[in-house]
Copies of this chain bind each other. A is one copy, B any other.
């Protein structure tokens, strides 16, 4: 069987199981993303090996990985598209406080735990940093499904994630500059800050002044799916630029691209096209792939106590830290708890930190495994926690007729915002 046929078969399998598991998950009152994550773990690399493909398993899983990475960009792009910049400005204070406190608390906790378990000073700081980085894609998807992304909590959460990303990357860079022992530490950090500022400033300027004009021109031309292709290119270029020039995560770039295009008159058509690409193919692959990359057999049974403490610190540190920040920023108690919960899930930045630690001999195999388990568990617990905390709002939404029930015959057209939210969940 050729490589392509193997990929085609694997994609069919991933899409089928993802959508089936997502559907079952929804039937049990959970967000579909939980089912898709779990099915990935069940399929696992073990299953792929059983299938006995001649395609080197590594190559096949790399291709699936690339599909998944496109998926997370599309997901964050759509989250950005939900935003209005003025809404973002309104929630800036909450976002900054929640983002900062949500980094500080778990970093300090991790540092303390490291010292408590007899790790060296640098290793302990590093452990703290590995616990710090939120990955907001799972929460964004969950809030979209619960139709509460465009509430004050949802908007502040996405903003906080941007601050979180900037802060943790700054801290990691500072740390590595110091441990590498270069005297140029201060200069390097200044350089990073300048890079980030320049990137964000230039992206906003370009996105406000030039991009809408380009989109309008392309839309006028008779190019097959021209608007969608222009959007896709914008998203990809922003993502690459965020990582390459800005030193930020690629998903932050994709989020910014969405933010910029949210203001264009073509927004609704952009959204429906990107939604097809996202939920028809790439996003399910992303969620399943998170699970696929986890081999449960490799997990250590020793160091269970250490792992448990790390996981607990990661969850509580983020939840309480970000929640406290949100409260200071002016959210209600209930909203702060919701926002903090949305920050719990970790992702690729935590894993990247862990591997940096391994290659620099800062952490050993046990600590590495503990971080991986932490990323996994925080990812899995976030959707059900959010579902429980948003229960009231989400159930109220459920009483509204859904798009499918309404059909085309309905005369009571939903309002603009509701229509967009309905589409996102359909």
The residue in chain B whose Cβ has the minimal distance to the Cβ of A425 is B224
A69 contacts across to B, CB distance below 8 A:
4
A:1-51 near B, CB below 8 Å = 1-5, 7-9, 11-12, 15-16, 19, 22-23, 26, 32
Shortest CB distance A231–B (Å) = 9
Given contacts A63-B66, A222-B402, A273-B276, contact A229 B15 (CB under 8 A): yes
Whether B279 contacts A276 by the Cβ 8 Å rule is: no
A5 contacts across to B, CB distance below 8 A:
239-240, 243-244, 250
A59 contacts across to B, CB distance below 8 A:
59, 62
A32 contacts across to B, CB distance below 8 A:
223-224
Whole-angstrom CA separation of A236 from B223 in the bound complex: 27
Whether B280 contacts A228 by the Cβ 8 Å rule is: yes
Given contacts A240-B5, A250-B4, contact A276 B63 (CB under 8 A): no
Given contacts A63-B63, A224-B22, contact A8 B240 (CB under 8 A): yes
A305 within 8 A of B: no
Whether A15 contacts B232 by the Cβ 8 Å rule is: yes
Whole-angstrom CA separation of A290 from B110 in the bound complex: 52
Whether B232 contacts A280 by the Cβ 8 Å rule is: yes
* Chain A residues near B (Cβ < 8 Å): 1-5, 7-9, 11-12, 15-16, 19, 22-23, 26, 32, 59, 62-63, 65-66, 69-70, 73, 220-226, 228-229, 232-233, 236-237, 239-240, 243-244, 250, 273, 275-277, 279-281, 284, 402, 404, 425-426
Q: How many copies does the complex hold?
A: 2
Whole-angstrom CA separation of A32 from B8 in the bound complex: 27
Whether A280 contacts B223 by the Cβ 8 Å rule is: no
Whole-angstrom CA separation of A233 from B14 in the bound complex: 10
Shortest CB distance A58–B (Å) = 10
The residue in chain B whose Cβ has the minimal distance to the Cβ of A6 is B240
User: Which residue from B3, B228, B243, B402 sits with its C-beta under 8 Å from A276?
Assistant: B228
User: Which residue from B226, B281, B404 sits with its C-beta under 8 Å from A19?
Assistant: B226
The residue in chain B whose Cβ has the minimal distance to the Cβ of A242 is B5
Given contacts A23-B223, A222-B426, contact A15 B244 (CB under 8 A): no
A1 contacts across to B, CB distance below 8 A:
240, 243-244
A281 contacts across to B, CB distance below 8 A:
229, 232, 277
Whether B233 contacts A15 by the Cβ 8 Å rule is: yes
Whole-angstrom CA separation of A240 from B11 in the bound complex: 11
Whole-angstrom CA separation of A8 from B8 in the bound complex: 21
Whether A236 contacts B9 by the Cβ 8 Å rule is: yes
Whole-angstrom CA separation of A223 from B275 in the bound complex: 13
Whole-angstrom CA separation of A73 from B8 in the bound complex: 10
Whole-angstrom CA separation of A230 from B1 in the bound complex: 23
Whole-angstrom CA separation of A178 from B354 in the bound complex: 59
Shortest CB distance A19–B (Å) = 5
Which are the 10 A-B pairs with shortest beta-carbon distances?
A228-B280, A225-B279, A225-B280, A224-B279, A276-B276, A12-B236, A8-B236, A4-B69, A12-B233, A5-B240
Shortest CB distance A322–B (Å) = 28
User: Which residue from B22, B222, B223, B240 sits with its C-beta under 8 Å from A223?
Assistant: B22
A244 contacts across to B, CB distance below 8 A:
1, 5
16 A-B residue pairs with CB within 8 Å:
A2-B243, A5-B239, A5-B243, A5-B250, A8-B73, A12-B236, A16-B229, A19-B223, A23-B222, A26-B222, A32-B223, A59-B62, A222-B426, A225-B279, A273-B280, A276-B276
Whether A229 contacts B280 by the Cβ 8 Å rule is: yes
Whether A229 contacts B19 by the Cβ 8 Å rule is: yes
The residue in chain B whose Cβ has the minimal distance to the Cβ of A254 is B8
A16 contacts across to B, CB distance below 8 A:
229, 233
Whole-angstrom CA separation of A236 from B7 in the bound complex: 10
